[in-house]
Structure formats: structure tokens, C-alpha cells
Amino acid sequence: RPRVLSGMQPSADSLHLGNYIGALRQWVAMQETHETFYFVADRHSITVDFDPAQLRHRTRATAAQFIAAGVDPERSTLFVQSQVPEHSELTWVLGCITGFGEASRMTQFKDKSAKGGAERASVGLFTYPVLMAADILIYQAHQVPVGDDQRQHLELTRDLAERFNQRFGRTFRLPEGFIPPQAARIYDLQDPAAKMSKSGSHPQGIVELLDEPGPLRKKIMRAVTDTGSEIRADKENKPGVTNLLNIHSALSGEPVPELEKRFDGAGYGTFKKELAEVVIDTLAPIRERAKELLADPAELDRLLAAGAARARAQASATLAQVRERIGFLAPP
């Protein structure tokens, strides 16, 4: 079985429908076909402003939502990134074979630091792609699901792996990126030109996995629609309705052309009412299970500790090889 690795940042209390449709659902499915490693990327979250108590809560909440959505801690190696210290040591080593110019070309840093100015951005944000390379390479992953925004970082990961292998001897597997087949992109309900995002969306534009049915229904009924009243997929002219059709189809399994036919002549209101029920039916069991898990943080922490122990077994094997190759003395 090919080994796959993926993570999400604990950058909000709740994940959203885009995370679920675009990633989490695929993670669950891949448990059938892959050896799966999934993690909460808390080290990445401290590259920008954060609050410690909030981070602690969000780390547990993110892990709870993974499990609630169907990630099975028995079948998958599920862990919190910072509980595996080996990533940090490998990051240092990889940082020392990364060119300053090479790192400076990463567009995510340019984008994320543009707001406050590069002067105020942290060095951690700058070296984020090197940490990401370490996350991937330390597990000898065959495949990494990547969205458009992470493609450049995966290229860097492969470059670093090749460079290290050439210079010090074959150590790392070269990971392949792939876009999961059913991973539709989901857009902000209030601004269908922007992707739904934990940190960037309007509060009313994000469908959160932990939303209660009442607020959920309200958000969907108030989603911006387009001029005209036709329920038809047309990304150019009707981005709002198209997004809602895609959400319905992704969750109900009913193809978009059939939805168009079934709602032919119906108003936006009728369609949205049904969509709200589809979303509520999908998310209710996830929300409830996540709440149960969060009500018992000791048990959740125990599950995560077991996952971290499994992850460390693999990570420390790779790291021991790295240390030996580059001439570090074995740790006492």
C-alpha cells in the first residue's frame, strides 16, 4: 500500500465544509487504499499570530473533527505535529541545504507577509516550506495530496530530497503530489469569488462542521445568489448558485445536471431549503461525535499520544539515518 501523509492547521475552532469536501472526506476514503498518516499541524500555526490557550483547544478540536468525520485512529497514524520532536531536527538539517534565494522565491511567504510587511513577518513563516518538507520526508511518504497553493512547496520538498540523496547517499523517498479526484473547491457563501477559508472568510460565509442546525440553515438561506432565478451551473455568470450546486452534489451524490433538471423552474428559496437539509444531515453526526470527543479531553489526549508514539517510531528511524549520513555523532 502506498503511504500517504496529510495535515491541517488548527487555525480555527471548527473546520469548514471546504476542508471536509476538499480533504477530510478523501482522507477517510484513502484509509481503504493507502497506509495513512494524518496530523494536526500546530507548528505551522505558530508562524503567524496565535494565542496559547486557543491553540491548545484548537489542536484538540481539529483532531476530534478528524476522528468524528471518520479518520480511525487504529487504522491511521493520527498525531499532533509538535508531539513528534524529530520533525524539528530534520527541519534544521534541511534548512542548511536550502538556498536563501530558493526559499525567498516561495510565493506563500510573499503573500502572507505582504499584509504586515516582510520586516514584521517571522522567520518561522519564512522557513515554513522547509518544515513542510521535513513533515513529508521524515515519513518516507509516497504520496501527498496537495491543493494549488501547496504545489510550489511540494516541488521544493522534492528538490531538497534529491539534493540530500545526491550529496549524502540515498535517504529519502521522493514524494508524488496528487489532487484527490472528488476534491471540489468550495467557495465563501458571501463571496463566491473567494475560497471558503478558516482564516479568511466572512463568518457568515463559512459553513462550519461544528455549526448547530439553526445557524447553519440561516447561513445557507442567506448565501448570495446571482441575478436571475435559474438554478444552473455557470461559474462565470452564476458563481453563487454554482457553488451551492457543487456543495449539494458533493454531499448528496446527485450529479449537478440532474439537480438542474429537478429544480428547473423552482426558485432559489426552494433549492436552498433542500440544500440546508442535505448539509445538516451530513454534518449533524460529525458535530455530535466531535462534541463527545471534546467532552473527554483526557481520552482524546491518550489517543493522540498513541498516534504520536507510532509516528515517532517511523520519524526517528529516518532521522537516525540522516544524522549518521551527515556526520553527527549518535545521541547518547
Residue 223 engages ligand ATP in binding (rule: CB under 6 A): no
Query: Which of 3, 4, 9, 304 contacts ligand ATP by CB under 6 A?
Result: 9
Query: Which of 3, 4, 14, 23 contacts ligand ATP by CB under 6 A?
Result: 23
Q: Which residue has the cell 490557550?
A: 53
Query: Which of 3, 14, 19, 63 contacts ligand ATP by CB under 6 A?
Result: 19
User: Is 198 assigned a catalytic role?
Assistant: yes
Alpha-carbon span 268 to 226, nearest angstrom: 10
Residue 199 engages ligand ATP in binding (rule: CB under 6 A): yes
Contact 186, 193 (CB under 8 A): no
| x-or-dash string of contact with ligand ATP, 119-158, rule CB under 6 A | ----------------------------x-----------
Residue 198 engages ligand ATP in binding (rule: CB under 6 A): yes
Residue 90 engages ligand ATP in binding (rule: CB under 6 A): no
- What cell does 77 get? 497514524
Identify the CA nearest to 5 among candidates 164, 173, 128, 119. Answer: 173
Categorise residue 140: left if φ over 0, alpha if ψ from -120 to 50, beta otherwise.
left
Residue 26 or 318 with smaller CB distance to ligand ATP? 26
Residue partners of 56: CB distance under 8 A and separation at least 6:
none
Annotated ligand binding at 199? The verdict is yes
Annotated ligand binding at 234? The verdict is no
Query: Which of 93, 156, 160, 186 contacts ligand ATP by CB under 6 A?
Result: 186
**Minimal distance, residue 149 CB to ligand ATP, in Å:** 7
Annotated ligand binding at 149? The verdict is yes
Segment lying near ligand ATP (by CB under 6 A), choices 8-16, 31-39, 130-138, 230-238: 8-16
Query: Which of 4, 14, 22, 223 contacts ligand ATP by CB under 6 A?
Result: 22
**Minimal distance, residue 175 CB to ligand ATP, in Å:** 15
CA dihedral 321, 322, 325, 330 (to 10 degrees): -70
Contact 196, 186 (CB under 8 A): yes
Identify the CA nearest to 63 among candidates 209, 280, 162. Answer: 209
Which class for 191: exposed (0-12), middle (13-18), buried (19 or more C-beta within 10 A)? Answer: middle
Strand boundaries in the chain, DSSP class E: 3-8, 35-40, 77-80, 143-145, 176-178
Segment lying near ligand ATP (by CB under 6 A), choices 21-29, 90-98, 254-262, 318-326: 21-29
Alpha-carbon span 36 to 172, nearest angstrom: 18
**Minimal distance, residue 211 CB to ligand ATP, in Å:** 15
User: Is 195 assigned a catalytic role?
Assistant: yes
- What cell does 128 get? 515554513
Annotated ligand binding at 19? The verdict is yes
Contact 57, 45 (CB under 8 A): no
Residue 25 engages ligand ATP in binding (rule: CB under 6 A): no
**Minimal distance, residue 20 CB to ligand ATP, in Å:** 8
Alpha-carbon span 201 to 210, nearest angstrom: 16
Binding residue ranges: 9-11, 18-19, 135, 147-149, 186, 195-199
**Annotated active-site positions, please?**
112, 195, 198
What residue ranges bind ligand ATP (CB under 6 A)? 8-9, 11, 18-19, 21-23, 147, 185-186, 195-200
Binding residue ranges for L-tryptophan: 135
